[in-house]
């Protein structure tokens, strides 16, 4: 029968992060969480988590306190805007030294 192997190339993508590269490099503003204001931290149990809920890029963890993956965080600021305790500040990215980046 046929000797060739057919259809060895198709466009089928496999799941994985970073299709857009390290999208943390898009940031102009960086979210800084002040844990002393954070509601689940203060309550000592799962509560609020607005930042986790509204993050478009799923870079916020649902932990006490929440953490933000700066490799991929695009710095949109929604978490800061929606935090009912004003626990997140958006700080200019260029105020951070190269080590801190």
- Contact residues for another protein, defined by CB under 8 A: 1-4, 6-23, 26, 46-50, 52-59, 62, 69, 71-72, 74-78, 80-82, 90
Q: Are 75 and 30 in contact (CB under 8 A)?
A: yes
Give the helix/strand (H/E) hosting 68.
none
Closest to another protein by CB, 37 vs 69, is 69
Instruction: Please report how close the Cβ of residue 85 comes to another protein at its closest, in angstroms.
Output: 14
The whole-angstrom separation of Cα 26 and Cα 70 is 11
Minimal distance, residue 100 CB to another protein, in Å: 20
Question: Nearer to another protein by C-beta: 54 or 96?
Answer: 54
CA nearest neighbour of 64 among 35, 30, 89, 34: 35
Beta carbon nearer to another protein, 22 or 101: 22
What is the C-alpha to C-alpha distance for residues 47 and 37, in angstroms, rounded to an integer?
Answer: 13
């Amino acid at each position: 029968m046929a000797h060739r192997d057919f259809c060895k190339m198709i466009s089928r993508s496999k799941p994985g992060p970073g299709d857009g590269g390290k999208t943390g490099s898009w940031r102009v503003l960086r979210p800084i969480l002040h844990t002393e204001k954070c509601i689940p931290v203060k309550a000592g149990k799962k509560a609020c988590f607005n930042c986790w809920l509204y993050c478009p890029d799923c870079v916020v963890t649902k932990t006490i306190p929440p953490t933000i993956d700066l490799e991929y965080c695009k710095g949109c600021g929604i978490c800061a805007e929606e935090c009912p305790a004003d626990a997140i500040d958006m700080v200019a990215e260029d105020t951070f030294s190269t080590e801190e980046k």
